Chains A and B, each alone.
Chain A
Amino acid sequence: MIPLALDIAFAHLRGRKRQTAVSVLGVMLGVGIYIAISGMMQGFHTYFLRQLVESNPHVLITDEVRVPAAQPLQMLHPDAAVAVRRVLPRDPVRGIAAAGSIVPALDRMPGVTAAPMLSGQLILRRSGRDYAVSALGIDPARQGKVTSLAQDMVAGSLAALARETSGIVLGRSLAAKMGVGIGDSVAAVAAGGRESTLRVVGLYFTGLEEQDLLRVYVNLVRQQSMQARPRVVNQIGIRLADISRSIPFAARIEGRFGYKTAPWEETYRRFLDVLALQNWIIYSTLGAILLVAGFGIFNIISTVVLEKGRDIAIMRSIGVASRRIVHIFILEGAVVGLLGMVAGWALGRLLSLALGRVPAPGAADPTQTLMIAQSWWIYGSAGALALLAAVSASSLPARRAARIDPLAVIRGAT
């Protein structure tokens, strides 16, 4: 025999089938939309982060010193209370000193791959037009292991850049803007005014518009020559087998070699902050949808309490505890929430499958569709929020029901 409170709750809901169905529908829509939108948003974030993080090193060492060297006075009196203010570290003009030994040292660490780079500005000239870009001098073989550049190539190859020292790899968007293709030549002017002619040997596409438009890759030796910084490396990119340990790893490397070492979380902090804000806004909106569904439940339970005042009074008069009355109406809300949750899960799954067939806008591969995340967390949080909204919405009328004075109702009826 099912518990008394549940039995009465079912009886009340059966007695108001249409209103119950509408309330269940409200919760179902809330849960379904929550799952579909959360999945789409999380899928988009995952895709975007993966593109951003994988097309760049997980950890980047740059020729910048964040911690100034100890001052002579501090060195002379190490135990004294000496405070030297406004000391700024001097940036090394020669890039990362001993990069030649740092890279092999990093390579020897398990799960670590490193690639030396030299960044610098270039002006590309084509058909009388100038295009300011950020040029990255790379070791093509190593770069392919540190970033997803090799996989992002849509024409030509990194191997061609290794063979062709005067080669250049452009983003597909930039190439389209400049009107160049594989084999075409472009003039490149470095900051010092030195002009070279480079031949397009590859096109890449990351889907990150800014990167595809503004970053070009050239051979490291060629970049050193164009920038008039022979044998200089000002960045070392690192790829980790376990991306989750990037923060402690970067701190350890910076402590060991002294150069600023930024994990991807630091490099893309602003972007991550924007994603967090976006999450907040979207989850607030989705929460509001479930709140509206909660109002539907509040409405039906309030109506039942009004209609069943006499039944409540008789139950109270024969000795049914007031907490049992509360249980009856909270259970009614919970049953509506539960039914809506299960139906909403099914709806959310269907919506997610449908959205997963929609072509991804701007994808390199035309067959690529929207990435919709599906996880127990999404389904669980949608269900938990729906149940929370249902129970909260029913608790108010439930408490009102428990406060009904049986005598007032019985007197009114006689």
Chain B
Amino acid sequence: MSATDGTPVLQAQALGRVLPGQVPTILVSDVDAVFAPGSFTVITGPSGSGKSSLLYLLGLLDRPTTGELLLAGQPTGALSDEARAGLRLWHFGFVFQFHFLLPEFTVADNVMLPMREAGRLTAGQMRARARALLGALDMPDLETKRPDQLSGGERQRTAIARALANDPAVVLADEPTGALDTRNGRAVFTILRALARQGRTVITVTHDEALAAMADRRIALLDGRVVADGAASSFLRSAG
């Protein structure tokens, strides 16, 4: 998947998600959005507005009930679960509010997990890449530590390193600073912005206004619908 040929990496076309039930719950409704390579987008909105649900749809973790999601121009709606898992492995990196690191594995092992599943690199290459990723995230000496020996910020940076393991085109983060203090939260957002500058498409859910201002673009949701979509700086002005 090229990040520089001008084709949108992700394109949501009238994307909708309704939870079935006696009273159907609308999670996401009629979202149209295009995500270009190298863009850093934040999705904001009050609790229950559908931010995470939209992120899961964009990351092929959930299937839309209406509309279509295009990945590098290709529709993804008809893909099998395993095909979607394969796309997630190769093209997406996920960072969640909680780090979700495997507790029995070391930091390096956690980072190497997606690489081992992909099976593209040798053991030596995987170790070298994990070391390089951890070094870039300012964690050079923590490879052999286990998650329970790390601080909250270190765990989240480990999760970011894992998300970058297979050099994905898209990085999706769901409230990645939710469990961190202000300093660490800012550090994580700085890393995410840097990833966008490297040409990756970064989409983050947050409810932190200050951090949201660090993004290039902001999509605001209310009741599953997009109520605003524009440059993050314009939101600050309107808020001011």
A interface residues (Cβ-Cβ under 8 A, vs B): 1, 4, 7-8, 11-12, 14-15, 310-311, 313-322, 324, 406-407, 410-411, 413-414
Contacts and interface: CB of A to CB of B under 8 A. Distances in A.
Given A11-B102, A317-B88, A406 B61 contact: yes
A319 B114 contact: yes
B82 interface: yes
A247 B229 CA distance: 91
Q: What secondary structure prevails in chain A residues at the interface with B?
A: helix
Given A14-B104, A407-B62, A318 B89 contact: yes
12 contacts: A4-B116, A310-B100, A317-B59, A317-B88, A318-B117, A318-B163, A320-B85, A321-B82, A324-B117, A410-B96, A414-B174, A414-B175
Interface in B67-88: 81-82, 85-88
Given A319-B89, A324-B117, A414-B96, 6 more contacts: A311-B103, A318-B89, A319-B86, A407-B62, A410-B96, A413-B97
Contact of B104 (A15, A310, A313, A320): A15
A50 B90 CA distance: 67
A4 B52 contact: no
B123 interface: yes
A71 B162 CA distance: 93
A18 to B, nearest CB: 16
Interface in B206-240: none
Contacts of B178: 414
A310 B103 CA distance: 11
Contacts of A411: 52
Contacts of B163: 318
A321 B86 contact: yes
Given A8-B102, A11-B105, A14-B104, A315 B113 contact: yes
Which of the four size classes fits the interface of chain B? 35 or more
Nearest to A409: B100
B56 interface: yes
B94 interface: yes
A4 B61 contact: no
Given A318-B88, A318-B94, A410-B96, A4 B117 contact: yes
B92 interface: yes
B98 interface: yes
Contact of B113 (A310, A313, A318, A410): A318
Contact of A322 (B82, B87, B90, B102): B82
A411 B96 CA distance: 10
A401 to B, nearest CB: 14
B65 to A, nearest CB: 14
Interface in B100-134: 100, 102-105, 109, 113-114, 116-117, 123, 126
Nearest to B92: A319
